[in-house]
Structure 1
Amino acid sequence: MKGLLIAGTTSDAGKSLVTAAACRLFARNGVRVAPFKSQNMSNNSMVCADGAEIGRAQWLQAIAARVEPEAAMNPVLLKPGSDRRSHIVLMGQPAGTLESGEFATGRRHLAAAAFEAFRDLASRYDVILAEGAGSPAEVNLRGGDYVNMGLAREVGLPVVVVGDIDRGGVLAAMYGTLALLDPEDQAHLKGWIVNKFRGSLDLLRPGLVTLEERTGRPVLGVLPWLPDLWLDAEDALAIGGWSKDTRSGPKLTVAAVRFPRISNATDIDALAAEPGLDVSFTVRGGDLADADLVVLPGSRATMSDLAWLRERGLDEVIAKRVADGRPVLGICGGNQMLAQVIEDPNGIEGGGTVAGLGLLPTRVLFGADKLLGRPTGEWRGQPVTAYEIHHGVTTLTSGGDAEEFLDGFTSGSVWGTTWHGAFENDGFRRAFLTEVAQRAGSSWQPVPDAAGYADRREQMLDRLADALDDNVGFTSLMDLCEQAGGTS
């Protein structure tokens, strides 16, 4: 077995992107490589071809590796529903909940499933590139850990630690990471990768030399700051990482509500990638009032986030937009909020019935079973492929008057659908945005011959792989992978 664990000094240090870059780099060198993450805590997920739900980051890493995404690549997915409870997805399927008090000691069965999944992948691939979670120095959680040093010890993986220098304090964070590990864990840590560096490397080099002297581990490379890498963020800290479009010409402004329990926020990435769109996540009523299009994205806690929306008076801002004929789009949980009523007889979100925003003539009923799928359809003659992850089923109310929109409905200037990923379809996205621009009175039009969303993703993955190859090197990483199994 050959493999490597890519850990980080913090969340959002760059573990996911470095792992994706390594997957693409290994694939380009003819290595049959698979990504892996024992446990992912994220509300950004994806449905595989076989109906299994996994973290979005591991899906992207599989795309980078040019292999089919599958449940074994992310055997445990925890989807936070509140500050104290997460919903468990085990090997791609719902498997109950995990309370905060169980986090350190109540995950043994999850660890066993994760280790089994790793060994299964290792029997079918040449190299396994595992991504850690948070920081391996979270010693308060070490006893139940199976995603960082717990995984490294179990299967004998060498470990590299990525640190984000743009945040500051990266050298101290790396030194402290090693210092907090016990000797057996320290033996697995083989080196450091500095991420997001901009400036003169000559100024940084004395610090790198000191780090190597103090830790006895080499700095394997320094990765440059690469702007406009908005690839499939899994961490809430990374949502909205794209930059503003600075090109001249008519603009279309999009404001997406940043719900406390936002899920599948990557739906907004495809809009942000379209030339001439200025897209932002916001919690400000003024932003929602001024935008050409308001998006209510997915939510892992629809009823709770709807209450949050009302507490801030944002429901009134949205209602006024609709009264004025200005565009509003709801996706999955956001679509459910647009309904007249939301019913939860099975206690999926705590139970009960609440009034929706009443902006579509629909009713939402939460069923006991989660619906997972990869649906296809069309709109305005444009083909659409998507994925769905939801309990709530939306139907028209008696006497409701609305047209079909994908699997949902549209009425006036309001659109709603449960389909995620629909806007990654270039023709559909541009047709929809053209209609939005007309309703909003904007002169924006799609840019002819602009790169498609999938093409841009491929370009970014290759750009990441180039940076990793230039500054760390395929041979260096492969040499580390070949050390797997040597330390226990």
Structure 2
Amino acid sequence: MIVAGLCRLLARKGVRVAPFKAQNMSNNSAVTVDGGEIGRAQAMQARAAGLAPHTRFNPVLLKPGSDRTSQLVVRGHVAGTVRAGDYFTHRAHLAEIVHSELAELRNEFDAVLCEGAGSPAEINLRATDLANMGLARAADLPVVVVGDIDRGGLLAHLFGTVAVLEPDDQRLISGFIVNKFRGDPALLAPGLEQLQALTGRPTYGVVPYADGLWLDTEDSVSVLAHRVVGDPQPPRGRQWLRIAAIRLPRISNSTDVEALACEPGVLVRWVTDPADLADADAVVLPGSKATVADLDWLRERGLADGVAAHAAAGKAVLGICGGFQMLCRSIDDPVESKAGRVTGIGLLDADIAFAAEKTLRRHENGLSGYEIHHGRVTRSAADDWLGVGLRRGAVYGTHWHGLLDNDDVRRAWLTEVAPPGFTVAADVDVGARRDAQLDTMADLLAGHLDIDVLLALLDGGPSRRPTIVSSI
């Protein structure tokens, strides 16, 4: 969000700015204008900069399929599957790609904002690092460490981050930004002064916590941390509409339900227990990076039976991408899980077969959305739904991500599934809400960061700060 806010802030100043994340690890992705896929965060940052998403903004993407393996996406397209232990063998090749893409962006734009990944203090991964100090040292970049004070222990984290780095990495750390601060900044000020005395590095600003920032979350971390999506607003009528979104273990593109949470009176909750379906007016099965494995998890938890019972009662079920595939009669998967043919939940009379080549498709004419999936419909006796999916009664399925961002589609679906007494609002514009969030972040940064000093870093490069301790 800091990078997105800076992109929007600089774009508003007339600076031609681009985002860059050398390597992302996320199952939330978006399709680009050049026909590839990148992390959704970089697509959001591109939007903040007034740009269409492009693969060069995130040349390496890792999409976890299990705790130890990830699908490797290079320049927008699948390049194989890698294990954590053998990633080192790919490092030299990927570094060449990363540095080439960054160099081209720096030639084309006035400024490029490079987001790190995880923490630069993960010294056990330094030898294979592409996105943090590995990139900074190779491209001679000034580095600002952003710390989330809402997690606690921030001053120790900032000091320790610098302290454990190699001397040549330490010298690139120019300063700090404190994020998500609650309370009186005057109480924090003495600590920041001591931090500067200890490290020789200033803090460029303290960004206050903002409750209203929740759209376009980077990955499933927010899904794990918060049960309720967004900031539910009171209904326009006399009734709430309750939606249970199932938090799959390998959930992907969890942001699809955020559009629903923008609606007044719509309460979207992440659930993992069949009992949580009881009071829901509708159930959403989101996307998954491990469709067959997550389908097994649904059955083990009793959620598959719960979804079927929900549909049998005439209540709405919506499956998106992997969730859509689970609702079909069968899934033949020799690609992702290599399980072969398995039985689906069977609420939609259709069959799915996984192809080795991933479908990557961006839709912008009429309805907007995008597709990222290996599974394809090979047989269907279900009804067509809007030309973007299938329907059987109150059960809906689509491969389209972002479909609910289309205001007319979302309102029509909510009207069909809503309980008596619920009034569907006619004035919610999700696209405008997303832009408003980016403007809010830019305004926060403008009001609480020393922007002139940060701009000077863009012009002057690394400040070559001294080392503070010997690296461990």
TM-score range, shorter chain: over 0.9
Q: Is the 8 A contact 1:43 1:234 kept in 2?
A: no
DSSP 3-state at the match of 2:198: helix
TM (norm. structure 1) is: 0.91
Structure 2 residue aligned with 1:10: none
Structure 2 residue aligned with 1:284: 273
DSSP 3-state at the match of 2:348: coil
Q: Is the 8 A contact 1:26 1:474 kept in 2?
A: no
Structure 2 residue aligned with 1:211: 195
> Quick check: 1:55 aligned with 2:43?
no
Deviation at 1:226, TM superposition (A): 0.7
Structure 1 residue aligned with 2:409: 428
Pick one of 356, 373, 376 that aligns with 1:393: 376
Q: Is the 8 A contact 1:361 1:402 kept in 2?
A: no
Deviation at 1:208, TM superposition (A): 1.2
Q: Is the 8 A contact 1:31 1:127 kept in 2?
A: yes
Deviation at 1:408, TM superposition (A): 1.8
1:19-418 correspondence to structure 2 within 5 Å: 19-239=3-223, 242-247=229-234, 249-345=238-334, 347-375=335-363, 383-397=366-380, 400-418=381-399
User: Matched residues in 2 for 1:483 and 1:242: separation?
Assistant: 41
Note closer, same or farther for the CA distance 1:316–1:210 as it changes in structure 2 (3 Å cut): same
Opposite residue 63 of structure 2, the aligned amino acid is K
Give every structure 1 segment of 4 or more consecutive aligned residues whose post-TM-superposition deviation is greater than 4 Å.
485-488
DSSP 3-state at the match of 2:119: coil
Note closer, same or farther for the CA distance 1:123–1:485 as it changes in structure 2 (3 Å cut): farther
Pick one of 436, 456, 459 that aligns with 1:482: 459
Deviation at 1:427, TM superposition (A): 1.2
Deviation at 1:107, TM superposition (A): 2.3
Please, which runs of 5 or more residues in structure 2 have no aligned partner?
466-472
Deviation at 1:406, TM superposition (A): 3.5
Count of matched residue positions in the alignment of Structure 1 and Structure 2: 460
Q: Is the 8 A contact 2:219 2:254 kept in 1?
A: no
Deviation at 1:280, TM superposition (A): 1.4
Deviation at 1:333, TM superposition (A): 0.1
Deviates more, 1:282-291 or 1:124-133: 282-291
Q: Is the 8 A contact 2:230 2:262 kept in 1?
A: no
User: Matched residues in 1 for 2:463 and 2:159: separation?
Assistant: 24
Opposite residue 384 of structure 2, the aligned amino acid is E
Deviation at 1:405, TM superposition (A): 4.1
Q: Is the 8 A contact 2:411 2:426 kept in 1?
A: no
> Quick check: 1:443 aligned with 2:426?
no
Deviation at 1:214, TM superposition (A): 1.1
> Quick check: 1:453 aligned with 2:422?
no
User: Matched residues in 2 for 1:486 and 1:476: separation?
Assistant: 11
Deviation at 1:374, TM superposition (A): 1.3
Deviation at 1:247, TM superposition (A): 2.2
Deviation at 1:216, TM superposition (A): 1.0
Q: Is the 8 A contact 1:194 1:222 kept in 2?
A: yes
DSSP 3-state at the match of 2:298: helix
Opposite residue 316 of structure 1, the aligned amino acid is D
Deviation at 1:203, TM superposition (A): 1.3
Structure 2 residue aligned with 1:470: 447
| TM-superposition CA deviations, 1:393-417 (whole Å, max 9, x none) | 02434xx343334332100110000
Structure 1 residue aligned with 2:470: none
User: Matched residues in 1 for 2:210 and 2:282: separation?
Assistant: 29
| TM-superposition CA deviations, 1:346-366 (whole Å, max 9, x none) | x33224111000110010010
User: Matched residues in 1 for 2:240 and 2:385: separation?
Assistant: 28
User: Matched residues in 2 for 1:288 and 1:476: separation?
Assistant: 52
DSSP 3-state at the match of 1:444: coil
Q: Is the 8 A contact 1:37 1:73 kept in 2?
A: yes
User: Matched residues in 1 for 2:403 and 2:110: separation?
Assistant: 34
**Once the two structures are aligned, what percentage of the paired residues are identical?**
50
User: Matched residues in 2 for 1:462 and 1:121: separation?
Assistant: 24
Note closer, same or farther for the CA distance 1:242–1:470 as it changes in structure 2 (3 Å cut): farther
Please, which runs of 5 or more residues in structure 1 have no aligned partner?
1-16, 378-382
Backbone CA RMSD of aligned residues:
1.6
User: Matched residues in 1 for 2:339 and 2:259: separation?
Assistant: 34
DSSP 3-state at the match of 1:384: coil
Note closer, same or farther for the CA distance 1:212–1:376 as it changes in structure 2 (3 Å cut): closer
Deviation at 1:243, TM superposition (A): 3.6
Deviation at 1:375, TM superposition (A): 2.9
